[in-house]
Structure 1
Amino acid sequence: MKNQRRVFLKGLATASLATALPWTKCAAKEKDASPAMVPAVIGSGKMKLSFRPYELQLEHTFTVAGNSRDTTPVVLVEIQYEGHTGYGEASMPPYLGESQESVIRFLRKVKLDQFKDPFLLDDILAYVDSLDEGNRAAKACVDIALHDLIGKLVDKPLHKLWGINPANTPMTSFTIGIDTPEMVKKKTAEAARFKVLKVKLGGGNDREMIQSVRSVTDVPIYVDVNQGWSDKHQALDMVHWLAEQGTEFVEQPLPKTAVADLTWLTANSPLPIIADEAFQRLGDIAAFQGVYSGINIKLMKSTGLREAQKMITVARALDMKVMIGCMTETSCAVSAAAQLSPLVDWADLDGNLLITNDLYEGVEVIEGKLTLNDLPGIGIRKRDV
């Protein structure tokens, strides 16, 4: 059946897609680029992998429990095959433990030219995963680019290939980082077009943060503590208060290592408790049943779309809630994740909206709702910059 499906999909392939912009045309000036971080092309066969570092500039300083930043390093990827180009991206916020250097070292090991058929995703991605432990964002950028390439080869967006109804996309939250009351009010006012906000807590000013948001808007709130609380009893008191403030769930309230405390909190909480930092890959899910109410899937943790799809299936089978989120990313990775968004309970896909130098355009937010387009693959095109 798989072989028949591949033959069918290949039969739909068209050579009529517009030629992608040259890879060098959108190159932005990089700061202190080392010799190991210049654009590179790997492979002499049919599939050719190229990559380069890029630095995302945030519109506002982004503060969560534990750190602040004004930029996020990413690596942008292209896979070329028979006149088509698939785009991918690896984003490396501090807690992932990856860097542009580590991603590029990993990508230099990837030899896609040994595979003659990009539709052999199981084989290709199993090979990529076997190259080294960890490196989840590096693996994700290859996965995303391959999925984009396949969609372009058959001239269909991924959501159509997967039989997903684009009308069922959820609202996406917009993130308000930890800040002063004045800045929180300003950010909240700027986010007026969003129907739900995600508020970062855990910085010691939690009630002030929520009260500042509530002074501007009454839209529903998602709360993300980023492991910023330490006492389970104080956490439960805070969750009860948050429930009264129109909060829908609380994400990673306690350290990921505090499994017994998290199990107790989930059992007693009036709100769903969602795993984020504790949750990385498919094999983690079963152990979280009863510890958390649900999981937050991010492509940079799951190694990409292939495993993310499986995560949704397993979580549903275990009667767990599902959220799909993102790091600070361009529209490339965000649009890829958005292809799966109709299958989840909640979405936090705003990473591209927090930056000022997005190289792509893709999924849109219209009246707060994620809106997929009919572009093939992950649904993006390069901006003409």
Structure 2
Amino acid sequence: MDNRRKFIKNSAIITGLAAVGGTYSTVLAANRNKNSGKLILRYKPYTLQLKHVFTISSNSRTTTPVVLTELEYNGVIGYGEASMPPYLGESHETVLKFLAQVDLTKFGDPFDMEDILDYVDQIAPHNPAAKASVDIALHDLVGKIMNEPWYKIWGYNASKTPYTSYTIGIDTPEVVRQKVKEAEPYKILKVKLGRETDKLMINTIREVTDKPITVDVNQGWKDKKFALDMAFWLKEKGIIFVEQPMPKEMLDETAWLTEHSPLPIMADEAVQRLEDVLKVHQVYSGINIKLMKSTGMREAHKMLELARALNMKVMLGCMTETSCAISAASQLAPMVDWADLDGSLLISNDVYQGTQVIDGKVTLHDRPGIGITKV
């Protein structure tokens, strides 16, 4: 396995990095705004209230902490967001501490995006959601200055967006049936697994609907043969793919599972940033890209291009987020195989309006930047 991975890494770097290089510099150089001004960063903590208790293989919660950001330049304001599910290790405290170190007054031009985001990335290790909150706000700002949405800046076709799945957390059969009923407008369901009730969850849903289902195990299965048996059983139940079935450290076992599974095996916790895409190539069938893991839109875009160059499947996911981060991620949606962009649909106190889900489909519009307005 070690020799195989070294070969993959060496050969894929050339292909993948060629695919992602130069995108930002080429697009932005022709659209620079020479007006003088300062970049002013503002931020505040906020707590999202979930409509239902949200349970995965490792924990349950009813709220998610977020930090909402604004980046202003010459009177134009871009909006951003950091969402921090507790299991990822970030919190209001860590994000606010990180953002307090961000000094953007040294940059006089928001179109210097590579320099600005490189600076933000180097302030401290980790903190991907905190970094994403600046990245998203900067993209929103620059898109507004250019008066174009980012999917158009990237050259994507809005008509090619996929349907989004609607997530159903682990719960009792009664609550699961209720959640399936609430998900009636959506064409695909995403079901959380990873506990002893896995078959009960699927069978309960199949009692009331024959919609396509994806499953997310959140590293809940520990044995590769059990995982393979489950993959065959899930195939019979009309499941599309299995997301992160085993712990992210189990690379060899997951590669074996991917080779033998009748369903695609997707990486979530096993892949966070650009460098991880090469690590999971030929271990998983594809990757789940999330802005809160990748530090934002810039790196998520590079991950998408690299995964495509490596002929991997691509899923676009989210945390529990407002329409701000969901709309930012949606700019990439025309280029992915599957989308799970329901984070804002699971909360009761969204503060923005943005990308809509119409008849189950991620639907982009022509508002500039990431395409949101305040409620």
Same fold (TM over 0.5): yes
| Structure 1 residues without counterparts, runs of 5 or longer | 14-44
Q: Within 5 Å, which residues of 2 pair with 1:35-74?
A: 46-74=38-66
Does structure 1 residue 9 correspond to structure 2 residue 31?
yes
**Deviation at 1:12?**
11
1:162 Cα deviation (Å)?
A: 1.2
- Deviation for aligned residue 1:289: 1.4
Deviation at 1:7, TM superposition (A): 5.6
Partner Cα distance (1:237, 1:143) in 2: 42
Equivalent pair of 1:12/1:155 in contact (CA under 8 Å)? no
User: Deviation string for 1:286-334 (max 9, x for gaps)?
Assistant: 1111210000000000000000111011111111110010000000000
2:326 aligned residue: 334
Q: Which residue in 2 is equivalent to 1:310?
A: 302
2:322 matches 1:322: no
- Return the offset for 1:6: 3.8
Give 1:11 shift.
Answer: 6.3
Percent identity between matched residues is 61
8 Å contact from structure 1 (residues 78, 88) kept in 2: yes
- Look up the match of 1:287: 279
- Counterpart secondary structure, 1:111: coil
2:31 partner SS: helix
Alpha-carbon separation, structure 1, partners of 2:43 and 2:260: 47
Distance 1:204 1:6 in 2: 51
**Superposition RMSD on alpha carbons, in Å?**
1.5
Distance in 2 (CA, whole Å) between partners of 1:284 and 1:11 is 34
Counterpart residue type for residue 344 of structure 1: V
TM-score (norm 1): 0.89
Report the TM-score when normalising by structure 2.
0.92
Q: Which runs of 5+ in 2 are unaligned?
A: 1-21
Displacement of 1:261 in angstroms is 0.9
Query: What does 1:17-32 correspond to in 2, within 5 Å?
Result: none
Aligned to 1:278: 270
Secondary structure of the structure 2 residue equivalent to 1:187 = helix
Q: Does 1:96 align with 2:118?
A: no
Q: Does 1:174 align with 2:166?
A: yes
Question: Which of 122, 137, 150 is the aligned partner of 1:130?
Answer: 122
1:197 has 2:189 as partner: yes
8 Å contact from structure 2 (residues 27, 153) kept in 1: no
Quote how far apart the aligned CAs of 1:10 are. 3.8
Task: State the SS of the aligned residue for 1:9.
Answer: coil
* Distance in 2 of aligned mates of 1:179 and 1:164: 38
**Which string of whole-angstrom CA distances, capped at 9 and with x for unpartnered residues, describes residues 30-49 of structure 1?**
xxxxxxxxxxxxxxx61100
Whichever residue aligns with residue 117 of structure 2, its letter is L
- Number of the residue aligned with 1:299: 291
Give 1:188's match in structure 2, choosing from 180, 194, 207: 180
8 Å CA contact 2:165–2:340 kept in 1: the answer is yes
Q: 1:156 aligns with which of 140, 148, 155?
A: 148
Change (3 A) 1:290 1:194: same
Show CA shifts across 1:65-84 (max 9, x none). 01000000000000011111
Q: Deviations over 1:317-361 (max 9, x none)?
A: 111110010000000000000000101100000000000000000
